[in-house]
Structure formats: structure tokens, C-alpha cells
């Protein structure tokens, strides 16, 4: 045990004395945060400018506009019809919502229509407003259907609904698609960096063999098993640090609210660390040089990271690729985190955890089997 600790300590100190490694292992994971800040806009309290064109001029339409004005992070300006395009192009507003004539009738008839949403920045920007707006409109439709044509009942219910709704409108962006996307992006990048780091650290095994230091180590009280254990430990230490740094900075400094508990997210990512070490040990066990291992890493890690939705949502990919993604541990890691974000309880996700653990166990078994075979053919004790 003492010798394993000595080995771990030495590997860490040699690794982190190189600037290159500090950048790779400790700074690179944060790049995901910067990317998602760039892509999705950094400030959580960013104001969404929405232009409203009201062609309906009914009570329901103006209540709807009031509802939108009440949303946090949304600034509503009413604009004349003709200026829609100009306003968007000039960047005065991020999106324009048009209530066409007939809007209020369609809502009351239980079949909402005549709403137009225009945006040039794409779905991410409008998604949040859209989801709230549709929810609101659906509710009014439901009330209308429930009232079954009775004006009095409708007025009463509508009034009550407006009252409660104002209390609800202080919802912030917490659980919006934007936030989910930012988390996915950051964690997706972290996953890739973790796989690369574990790849590098596992290659030390091959480097030691190439430099013959491995054989010298085996002539000391270290044996092959202890050596492997030390390597896995170093890997785990580095990846745990990466996870903690990334999550901390996400949570505190950049204020990207990961809408789940810090430790739950950390738990999932540490499960993934085991998968990452396991996978890279398999790669190392099957390669006899560092260049072979490097090639295998590129062949395996890069495509699987892309397919499993670490860089973009899986939903944008063709169905076949999505099916393949279901067999990838990175996908399961992200999916588990998403479920946590969606408010599923920790205990309800035990199946997900089991699957992640199974991935790790499978990789470790394959690697250990292969290593022991290597050793018996080359007869290293």
C-alpha cells in the first residue's frame, strides 16, 4: 500500500510539473463552459426582447401580452405591423410575436391558432417564451372548453386563472431549454476532456514499457497489479478534480444553474470517470505502442463523443445514429444528468446508475483479462 501511494504521488508530481499538463487537465475542462457561454449567451438574467404585434385587439390578446410582460427576463415592446422585419434585423428585438385577427376566437373555441413567432436566432432563443406562451394559451382554451359556452363561468374561471398566474410568472429561466443546453454542452465537453485525459494517463503504462522502466519497477516490491492500481488511482484523482472544478465553476462563478444538486451531478460524473478509465485501459491493453493506442483513441473516442450528443443535442441526428447512441456510455451519462435536471429523484434513477456501473465493470474486466494474457505470454511476474 505504501509503495502504491509512493507511485501515485510521484506520477502526480511529475505530471503536474509540466505546464502543458496543467492546461490539458485543469484548464481544458473549462473550455466547455466558455463555449456554452458563447453559444447560449452567458448571463442567466439576460433579457429577451420580444416585439408584439397586436392585430386582434381583444381582451384575451391584451391579457396574453400582459402575461408575457410579467415573465421575468422578458422585455416586451409593442410594435406596428409593418416594422416586424426591420426590428428583428436591426437587432432591436430577438423575436416578434404576432397575434393575428381571430386569435381570441380560436382560443375560446378551444383550438388556439393565429399566433406567429418570428426569430432569426433560432429555437433556443424563443423556446423559453414559446413554451410559456403555449402553456398559457392552452390553459385558457381548456378553461373555455370547461365553461362550455357559459360566459359567466368562463369569466369567473378566467379571472381566477389570471390571479394565480401572476404568482407563477416569477418563474425564472431555471428549467428552460437554454439552461439544459448549456449544461449539456459543458458536461459534453467535460466528458471528452475526461476521456482524453484518461487516455493520456493510461498511455503512461505503454510509455513505461517502451522506456523499460516498467520492468525495473517490477524488480522492486511493486508488482503488475499494484502498478495498474496506481495508474487507475491517478486517473481517478485527475478526473475527479476535473469534475469538481467544472461543476463548481458552473455553479458559482458563471452561475450556470445546473438545476440539480451539485453532489448528484458529481456522483454521475464520477461514475463516468470509472467508465473513462476502463475504456482507456481496454485501449492500452490491446495496443503494443503508444502510437497504436493514440490511433485507437482517436478512432473510438471522437466519434462516440459526437454521436452521443456531447457537442450537439442527439435529437438533431438521424434516427439510426440516435439508436447507436443508446449503446454508448457517454449518452447514458448525459441522459442520466438530464433526468436529474428534469426533477427526477435520485433514487428513481437507480437503473441508470446500474447501467453506468455495468459499462465500467465490463471495460475493467476486458482490460484486466487482456493484461493478464499479455503478461502470461511475455511471462512478466
Residue ranges that bind other proteins, judged by CB under 8 A: 2-3, 6-7, 10, 14, 18, 211-213, 215-223, 379-381
Shortest distance in whole angstroms from residue 317 CB to other proteins = 42
Nearer to other proteins, 232 or 307 (CB): 232
Nearer to other proteins, 34 or 215 (CB): 215
Nearer to other proteins, 163 or 219 (CB): 219
Phi/psi at 152 (nearest 5 deg)?
-60, -50
Shortest distance in whole angstroms from residue 277 CB to other proteins = 22
Torsion 241-244-247-253 (CA) sign: negative
CA distance 1 to 4: 5
The DSSP call for residue 98 is: E
Nearer to other proteins, 172 or 211 (CB): 211
Shortest distance in whole angstroms from residue 168 CB to other proteins = 60
Asked if residues 191 and 305 have their Cβ atoms less than 8 Å apart, the reply is yes
Which residues sit opposite 54 in a β-bridge?
A: 99
Buried-exposed string 297-328: b where 16+ CB fall within 10 A, e elsewhere: beebbeebbbbbbbbeebeebeeeebebbeeb
Shortest distance in whole angstroms from residue 3 CB to other proteins = 5
Phi/psi at 53 (nearest 5 deg)?
-110, 115
Shortest distance in whole angstroms from residue 266 CB to other proteins = 31
Shortest distance in whole angstroms from residue 241 CB to other proteins = 21
Nearer to other proteins, 16 or 327 (CB): 16
DSSP-derived pairing of the beta strands 74-78 and 95-99: unpaired
Closest CA to 314 of 329, 331, 301, 302: 331
Shortest distance in whole angstroms from residue 23 CB to other proteins = 17
Q: Show the cell assigned to 108.
A: 375560446
CA distance 102 to 18: 68
C-alpha 80, offset from chain centre: 39
Shortest distance in whole angstroms from residue 213 CB to other proteins = 5
Mutual angle of helices 262-285 and 290-307, in 10-degree steps:
140
Closest CA to 184 of 26, 315, 43: 315
Which residues sit opposite 51 in a β-bridge?
A: 77, 96
Nearer to other proteins, 18 or 155 (CB): 18
Shortest distance in whole angstroms from residue 191 CB to other proteins = 28
- SS3 label, residue 117: strand
Nearer to other proteins, 128 or 371 (CB): 371
Q: Show the cell assigned to 253.
A: 462563478
Nearer to other proteins, 94 or 203 (CB): 203
CA angle centred on 155, ends 149 and 161, rounded to 5°: 115
Shortest distance in whole angstroms from residue 381 CB to other proteins = 5
**HSE on the CB side for 301, CA within 13 Å?**
28
Nearer to other proteins, 7 or 284 (CB): 7
Nearer to other proteins, 22 or 113 (CB): 22
Closest CA to 251 of 239, 238, 264, 240: 264
Amino acid at each position: 500500500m505504501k509503495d502504491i501511494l509512493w507511485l501515485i504521488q510521484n506520477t502526480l508530481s511529475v505530471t503536474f510539473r509540466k505546464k502543458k499538463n496543467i492546461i490539458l487537465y485543469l484548464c481544458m475542462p473549462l473550455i466547455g463552459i466558455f463555449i456554452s457561454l458563447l453559444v447560449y449567451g452567458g448571463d442567466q438574467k439576460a433579457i429577451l426582447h420580444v416585439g408584439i404585434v397586436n392585430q386582434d385587439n381583444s381582451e384575451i390578446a391584451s391579457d396574453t401580452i400582459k402575461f408575457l410582460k410579467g415573465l421575468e427576463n422578458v422585455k416586451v415592446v409593442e410594435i406596428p405591423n409593418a416594422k416586424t422585419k426591420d426590428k428583428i434585423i436591426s437587432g432591436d428585438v430577438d423575436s416578434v410575436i404576432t397575434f393575428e385577427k381571430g386569435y381570441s376566437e380560436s382560443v375560446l373555441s378551444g383550438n388556439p391558432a393565429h399566433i406567429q413567432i418570428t426569430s432569426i436566432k433560432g429555437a433556443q432563443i424563443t423556446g423559453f417564451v414559446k413554451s410559456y406562451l403555449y402553456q398559457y394559451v392552452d390553459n385558457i382554451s381548456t378553461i373555455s372548453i370547461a365553461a362550455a359556452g357559459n360566459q359567466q363561468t368562463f369569466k369567473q374561471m378566467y379571472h381566477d386563472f389570471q390571479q394565480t398566474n401572476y404568482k407563477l410568472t416569477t418563474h425564472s429561466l431555471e428549467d428552460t431549454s437554454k439552461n439544459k443546453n448549456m449544461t449539456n454542452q459543458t458536461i459534453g465537453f467535460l466528458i471528452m476532456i475526461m476521456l482524453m485525459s484518461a487516455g493520456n494517463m493510461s498511455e503512461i503504462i505503454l510509455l513505461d514499457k517502451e522506456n523499460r522502466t516498467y520492468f525495473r519497477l517490477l524488480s522492486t516490491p511493486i508488482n503488475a497489479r499494484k502498478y495498474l492500481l496506481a495508474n487507475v488511482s491517478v486517473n481517478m484523482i485527475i478526473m475527479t478534480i476535473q469534475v469538481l472544478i467544472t461543476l463548481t465553476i458552473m455553479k458559482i462563478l458563471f452561475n450556470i444553474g445546473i438545476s440539480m444538486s451539485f453532489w448528484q451531478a458529481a456522483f454521475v460524473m464520477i461514475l463516468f470517470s470509472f467508465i473513462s478509465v476502463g475504456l482507456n485501459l481496454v485501449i492500452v491493453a490491446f495496443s503494443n505502442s503508444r502510437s497504436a493506442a493514440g490511433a485507437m483513441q482517436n478512432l473510438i473516442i471522437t466519434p462516440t463523443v459526437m454521436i452521443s450528443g456531447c457537442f450537439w443535442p442527439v435529437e438533431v441526428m438521424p434516427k439510426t445514429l440516435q439508436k447507436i447512441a443508446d449503446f454508448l456510455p457517454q449518452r447514458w451519462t448525459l441522459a442520466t444528468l438530464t433526468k436529474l435536471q428534469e426533477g427526477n429523484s435520485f433514487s428513481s434513477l437507480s437503473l441508470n446508475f446500474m447501467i453506468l456501473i455495468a459499462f465500467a465493470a465490463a471495460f475493467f474486466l476486458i482490460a484486466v483479462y487482456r493484461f493478464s494474457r499479455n503478461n502470461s505470454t511475455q511471462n512478466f511476474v
